[in-house]
């Protein structure tokens, strides 16, 4: 088996035949905000069958998409922050209803900025944390107590992020963890234009830095909401897309229809497997990113930190 090709559930869903047709155990709901033109999608993976088909754990994945996110319009970003805030609140409410969190106003939330602050497309999480206004150290009247940590990546710490967080949770006892991370997408069109919010936490192989251990309620003992923005595309995904296009093109040359036939007989997974075998071994970890990624990461870090502020400190 090979690594997950996309961190976005909505892309995984689209990859099914019939442009994301029916998958047993998976529901899809789409709507949009007329005014802001944010396209909303909710993929719910309902059972083990759905989880296996999607290669992602059971749970809810909400995607906010807007091309305009790639531009620096501040008012627009404010609307997206508002939408993120609403969805966050809805998920917190649901967690309370499910008994996974105490049902009181006074919550202690630990925000975590995953990724490597020194690598631009991986720095989203650390940048969001840099914008957050924590208050656990103050005697405030806010009902929510917010703390935050940037644990660094394993190459810098020698430790699994899960180890670091387990220890901090053990000492400080938060009720909820919100993990912010840069994601890998399947399509370059998603880079910097999509925000995914999920109640399933962070899983091995996900994120730009490819986490090895999961950050979930199972592993950490408290619910984990994950907010992510795709900032890279795996190099293998790009190669795959090009070859698909190539196959199509070549099929139109009569003398090569057999080649087209051959490739088309392979399932997408087999095609991907073949590509991975052809690629250099070092290649697996390479990623593709646009040259203006610094601006994208900076802007979206504010959009997300504002969304978190609006969800937990409405009066500020």
Find the part of the chain contacting a second copy (CB under 8 A) among 4-12, 51-59, 87-95, 242-250. Answer: 242-250
Q: Which is nearer to a second copy, 29 or 245 (CB)?
A: 245
DSSP type of residue 202? B
Choose, by CB under 8 A, the member of 97, 249, 267, 268 that binds a second copy: 249
Choose, by CB under 8 A, the member of 129, 217, 227, 308 that binds a second copy: 129
**Cβ atoms of 310 and 211 closer than 8 Å:** no
Q: Considering the complex, what minimum distance in angstroms separates the CB of residue 3 from a second copy?
A: 13
Q: Which is nearer to a second copy, 17 or 173 (CB)?
A: 173
**Cβ atoms of 87 and 197 closer than 8 Å:** yes
Choose, by CB under 8 A, the member of 26, 95, 224, 275 that binds a second copy: 275
N-to-C CA span, the chain: 48
DSSP type of residue 9? H
Choose, by CB under 8 A, the member of 66, 107, 208, 225 that binds a second copy: 208
179 binds a second copy (CB under 8 A): no
282 binds a second copy (CB under 8 A): yes
Separation CA 216–CA 125 (nearest Å): 17
Overall residue count recorded for the chain in this entry: 316
Which of positions 57-86 make contact with a second copy (CB under 8 A)? 72-73
Among the listed residues 189, 187, 274, 283, the one whose alpha carbon sits nearest the alpha carbon of residue 237: 187
Q: Judging by DSSP bridges, how do beta strands 107-113 and 144-149 pair with one another? A: parallel
125 binds a second copy (CB under 8 A): no
DSSP type of residue 23? B
Mutual orientation of helices 235-251 and 268-278 as an angle, nearest 10°?
110
266 binds a second copy (CB under 8 A): no
Which of positions 217-236 make contact with a second copy (CB under 8 A)? 233, 235
119 binds a second copy (CB under 8 A): yes
167 binds a second copy (CB under 8 A): yes
Look at residue 118 and give its three-state secondary structure: coil
Q: Which is nearer to a second copy, 16 or 313 (CB)?
A: 313
């Amino acid at each position: 088996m090979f690594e997950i090709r996309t961190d976005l559930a909505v892309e995984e869903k689209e990859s099914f035949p019939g442009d994301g047709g029916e998958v047993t155990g998976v529901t899809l709901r789409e709507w949009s905000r007329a005014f802001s033109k944010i396209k909303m999608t909710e993929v719910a993976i309902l059972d083990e069958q759905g989880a296996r088909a999607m290669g992602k754990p059971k749970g809810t994945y909400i995607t906010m998409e807007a091309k305009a996110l790639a531009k620096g319009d501040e008012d627009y970003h404010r609307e997206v922050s508002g939408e993120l805030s609403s969805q966050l609140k809805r998920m917190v409410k649901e967690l309370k209803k499910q008994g996974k969190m105490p049902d009181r106003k006074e919550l202690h939330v630990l925000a975590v900025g995953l990724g490597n602050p020194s690598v631009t497309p991986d720095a989203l999480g650390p940048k969001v944390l840099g914008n957050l206004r924590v208050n656990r150290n103050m005697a405030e009247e806010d009902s929510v107590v917010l703390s935050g940590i940037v644990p660094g990546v394993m190459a810098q710490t020698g430790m699994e992020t899960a180890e670091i967080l387990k220890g901090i949770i053990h000492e400080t006892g938060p009720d909820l963890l919100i993990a912010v991370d840069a994601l890998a997408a399947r399509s370059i069109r998603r880079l910097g234009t999509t925000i995914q919010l999920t109640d399933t936490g962070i899983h091995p192989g996900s994120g730009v830095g490819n986490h090895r251990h999961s950050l979930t309620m199972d592993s950490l003992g408290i619910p984990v909401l994950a907010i992510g923005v795709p900032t890279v595309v795996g190099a293998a995904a790009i190669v795959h897309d090009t070859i698909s296009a190539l196959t199509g093109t070549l099929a139109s040359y009569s003398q090569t229809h057999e080649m087209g036939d051959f490739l088309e007989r392979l399932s997408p997974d087999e095609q991907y497997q073949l590509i991975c075998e052809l690629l250099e071994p070092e290649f697996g970890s390479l990623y593709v990113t646009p040259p203006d990624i610094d601006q994208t990461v900076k802007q979206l870090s504010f959009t997300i930190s504002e969304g978190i502020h609006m969800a937990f400190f409405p009066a500020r």
